[in-house]
Structure 1
Amino acid sequence: MIPVQGLEGARVAVLGLGRSGLSAARALAAGGAKPLCWDDNPAARAKAEAEGFACVDLKAPGAFDKVARLILSPGIPHLYPVPNPVVAAALEAGVPVDNDIGLFFQSFATLAWDNYDTAPRVIAVTGSNGKSTTSALLHHILRHVGRPTQLAGNIGRGVLDIDPAIDGEVVVMELSSYQTDLARALTPDIAVFTNLSPDHLDRHNGRGGYFAAKRRLFAEGGPDRAIVGVDEEEGRFLAGQLSEAPGDDRVIRISVTRKLTGPGWQVFARKGFLSEYRRGKQVASIDLRDVAGLPGAHNHQNACAAYAAARALGLAPKVIEAAFHSFGGLPHRSQLIGEIDGVRFVNDSKATNVDSAVKALAAFENIRWICGGLEKEGGLGGLAGVGDTVRKAYVIGREAAAFAMQLEVETQVCGDMETAVAQAVAEAEPGDVVLLAPAAASFDQYDSFERRGEDFVAQVQRYMTR
């Protein structure tokens, strides 16, 4: 646990008692603060009370009297589409609003570091797609070379649940736009921006607000080194803002759409090969085509980001390359489930938006595509042109018929996962890939993309055991 510093003796309100909320309450108490907890769910309040925390209705008049700060869980709106009433009350009372990420950054460094040979470092990864794989891959590389490391944030442990850092440790942290948008302190040593595509637009009042939330990690955080994906206009703009001159190697630009040139530091992947250039000269190259855990261009972008971060830490290219080959990938992200009679089954349930689904579809050929779910804002127009690799789509979800009508490929309305997998298995031929890449959220039928992916795996395994 990371005890919260700077709030000793203070009354601190905590709204939302899920994983991050309870973790924040524990860390606040460990640091000598007095948490006042609330959640509209009685079961969540009961769990907090069982741990000895006081639960106080933060909607009650005077609830924020003598309160130093409100700590907010990431799922609770603080500004758009409308502020949560408790947040509005806190701001009206002049109480600052923060989250567990802000508490972490104000508390991570301790006086014990004065005795370390190498100060601990934090690498924070954000972006629309690839955050989890990039973070996990970088964590894997560090473990491969024997560097002490912890994985935290949206993947691994909660940021306040990790252990206090030891000499030379590197904390790899995955951060969402919800987290970067609100944190009052953001001070990573290295920050990574993978890419940007439309997502969570209601929470950020549009694409501009969404990008602004991501940009805070760099503009507010002032990292020593920034790794920026420049395949979208926003990434190119961000890299330009952070650079003092074209040759400023504090910014490492990454791409999977073209060769990057110039006097700076670049890492890019083309035709399955990752290349590193510095001052206009190539210094390393890695063949990614046989790296089983990183299939497709979208994973090659993740490889570029993790490679650049590892290089910024001083690791050698050959060491990083060896670590790539032992990386097994992540569940629900281009995860190979198995093969039946020459047909491969791939679970990419994490493809919850159009952009991530397009990237998953580009990684394979002869696809039997299982898709559908709760359609996100922006529609499905970005799926135009995917038909070259898709043999047929099997559509699930409560609005499967409406979803199917927007696709430019042969479709079959299946409704549920069991039916979709059964039909795909019945029609698949050797060389086909049955791919779950929903291009939609899961909440119309499942409580998370993980549950959806687990259902797909369970359905496939029924046929593997026959």
Structure 2
Amino acid sequence: MAQTVVIGLGRSGLGAARLLQASGHSVSVIDSGQGELLEAKAESLREQGIEVRLQSPFAIDSFRPWLDDVQRVVISPGIPWDHPTIEQLRQHGIAVDGEMAVAWDALQHIPWVGITGTNGKTTVTHLLSHVLGKAGLAAPMGGNMGVSAADMALSLQQQSAAPPDWLVMELSSYQIEAADRIRPRIGIWTTLTPDHLERHGTVEAYRAIKRGLLERSDQAIFNADDPDLRQQRRSWNGGIWVSAESAQPDGLPADLWIDDEGWVHEPTQRLFPAEALAMPGSHNHQNLLLVTAAALQIGLSPASIEAGLRSFPGVPHRLEPLGRIRNAQVFNDSKATNYDAAAVGLRAMRGPVVVLAGGTTKQGDASDWLAELNRRACAVVLFGAGAEELQGLITTSGFPGPLSLCNDLSAAVDQAVQRAEALGASNLLLSPACASFDQYRDFEARGDHFKQLIHQVQSGSN
């Protein structure tokens, strides 16, 4: 029987293996690691009749037992699309896909909203799913955050209820490049700034991956306030362009915008006040417009969209309010895993802020982030593997406030609380500007730990 081999026992690999087996495929899984946690995951699959081999690296030799029978290999998002083993597999006539392509095969009968962008895509995904849900449409979200697309497909296969009206999918560049047959009904592109260059090599390659998704979408929606997207605008034939800044960004008319009185407008009418969304920052006005444009395309009324916006509770780890410590409002922005996202979070702050930053540093232009630190931060507390590198950048930028280095987030929170009280800061902000993998499995785990530490301070137990 033709064999499908899934690479890795991460979230996407587990989902893909189970979905493929439930769809009638003969499935095996290989993973290069070992240890108790992986053994437990492997055993759960074996109990379902799926063969699992640990300590098997992603190399052609690991496929020798099945090479004549393997028809398809499903890779995890962490494997580069130009990995030499992928080319060797193709030379043997073996198809290579990502988990998202497997999910698309099972879910393409349901209309997708595909949401991509360097920053903003998680907020837009949560907000659109919420607005559609409040309007009475079943529109679960998943993909790059929350439930994996494969797990979503498996769950929908196993339930007897009617399928959802829409699927709201966050799609990363890693997922898109390994699933180029995805064709969303609506595609949304939030922003584009240099990111993942260690993977994609150039901004041009990174941009081309995201552009491909929008070109395959039946209706494309763009953020005209993003400099890179605005520069591309004349190369697109149509699409819906939104702007929180102007009715004519870059001299071309917007299809949806916010006027000087703070109202959301389309060419024929004004719809509702932008303050319907309580989240701070101009970037969230852009997110509001992208969601409104999609919701209008789906058929919602302005009143229904406004009601959904007003009832939105916010996004975990994305400028998530955590209450106060004395006079300082505390925000968890653990999702800010690069300089650009961290700069956006800083711009949303009103009044002086104590910033906690650190983790595994990424390539990218830090100049905007450093400028915002100098403009808004009264103190910076650094932690984790990248603390000394960030210290060098911040010191070189001429930052005038106190700058502290800590080994971990717990010590950083203690230091930041002391700084906030001593300096009379209005805000205390976790905005790492770094990946989390030096000390946490993901940014969610980092944000959850921060919330726990803040709660301890608020309850007086720290």
Q: TM-score, normalised by structure 1?
A: 0.86
Partner SS, residue 140 of structure 2: strand
CA shift digits 1:148-197 (9 cap, x unpaired): 22112122322122215836611111110000111042111000000011
CA shift digits 1:400-420 (9 cap, x unpaired): 233112113222223322222
Q: State the AA in 2 paired with 1:419.
A: A
Q: CA deviation at 1:347?
A: 0.4
CA shift digits 1:271-300 (9 cap, x unpaired): 79352323xx44424232x633x2111222
Q: State the AA in 2 paired with 1:150.
A: P
Q: CA deviation at 1:84?
A: 5.5
- More moved, 223-232 vs 424-433: 424-433
* Residue number in structure 2 paired with 1:103: 102
CA shift digits 1:101-132 (9 cap, x unpaired): 2122233245xxxxxxxxx4211100011111
CA shift digits 1:355-402 (9 cap, x unpaired): 000000000121111112211112523323212211111111234233
Q: CA deviation at 1:353?
A: 0.4
Q: CA deviation at 1:31?
A: 1.7
Partner SS, residue 64 of structure 2: coil
For residues 207 and 223 of structure 2, the distance between their equivalents in structure 1, rounded to whole angstroms, comes to 13
Q: CA deviation at 1:263?
A: 8.2
More helix by share: 2
Q: State the AA in 1 paired with 2:370.
A: A
- More moved, 328-337 vs 29-38: 29-38
1:394 aligns with 2:391: no
Alignment root-mean-square deviation, CA: 2.4
Contact 2:353 2:427 in 1 (8 A): yes
Q: State the AA in 2 paired with 1:166.
A: A
Q: State the AA in 2 paired with 1:398.
A: A
Contact 1:91 1:97 in 2 (8 A): yes
Partner SS, residue 55 of structure 1: strand
Q: State the AA in 2 paired with 1:12.
A: T
Q: CA deviation at 1:269?
A: 4.2
* Residue number in structure 2 paired with 1:179: 175
Tell me: CA distance 1:457–1:242, structure 2 relative to 1, closer, same or farther (3 Å). Answer: same
| Correspondent of 1:22 among 5, 10, 14 | 14
Question: What is the 5 A alignment of 1:37-48?
Answer: 37-42=29-34, 43=38, 44-48=41-45
* Residue number in structure 2 paired with 1:6: none
Tell me: CA distance 1:237–1:454, structure 2 relative to 1, closer, same or farther (3 Å). Answer: same
Unaligned stretches of 5+ residues in structure 2: none
1:420 aligns with 2:412: yes
Q: CA deviation at 1:47?
A: 4.0
Question: What is the 5 A alignment of 1:97-136?
Answer: 97-109=96-108, 120-136=110-126
For residues 240 and 63 of structure 1, the distance between their equivalents in structure 2, rounded to whole angstroms, comes to 49
Partner SS, residue 187 of structure 1: coil
Q: CA deviation at 1:10?
A: 3.5
* Residue number in structure 2 paired with 1:228: 222
For residues 206 and 460 of structure 1, the distance between their equivalents in structure 2, rounded to whole angstroms, comes to 39
* Residue number in structure 1 paired with 2:142: 152
- More moved, 314-323 vs 343-352: 314-323
1:310 aligns with 2:310: no
Q: CA deviation at 1:201?
A: 0.8
| Correspondent of 1:253 among 241, 254, 276 | 241
For residues 206 and 337 of structure 2, the distance between their equivalents in structure 1, rounded to whole angstroms, comes to 17
Q: State the AA in 1 paired with 2:76.
A: S
Tell me: CA distance 1:99–1:406, structure 2 relative to 1, closer, same or farther (3 Å). Answer: same
1:439 aligns with 2:425: no
* Residue number in structure 1 paired with 2:210: 214
| Correspondent of 1:277 among 266, 274, 290 | 266
* Residue number in structure 2 paired with 1:55: 52
Contact 2:332 2:429 in 1 (8 A): yes
Q: State the AA in 1 paired with 2:309.
A: F
Contact 2:190 2:222 in 1 (8 A): yes
For residues 118 and 309 of structure 2, the distance between their equivalents in structure 1, rounded to whole angstroms, comes to 22
* Residue number in structure 2 paired with 1:363: 348
Q: CA deviation at 1:239?
A: 4.2
Unaligned stretches of 5+ residues in structure 1: 1-8, 111-119
* Residue number in structure 1 paired with 2:367: 381
Tell me: CA distance 1:272–1:295, structure 2 relative to 1, closer, same or farther (3 Å). Answer: farther
Q: How many residues align structurally?
A: 433
Tell me: CA distance 1:200–1:269, structure 2 relative to 1, closer, same or farther (3 Å). Answer: farther
Contact 2:328 2:425 in 1 (8 A): yes
Tell me: CA distance 1:309–1:128, structure 2 relative to 1, closer, same or farther (3 Å). Answer: same
For residues 301 and 254 of structure 2, the distance between their equivalents in structure 1, rounded to whole angstroms, comes to 15
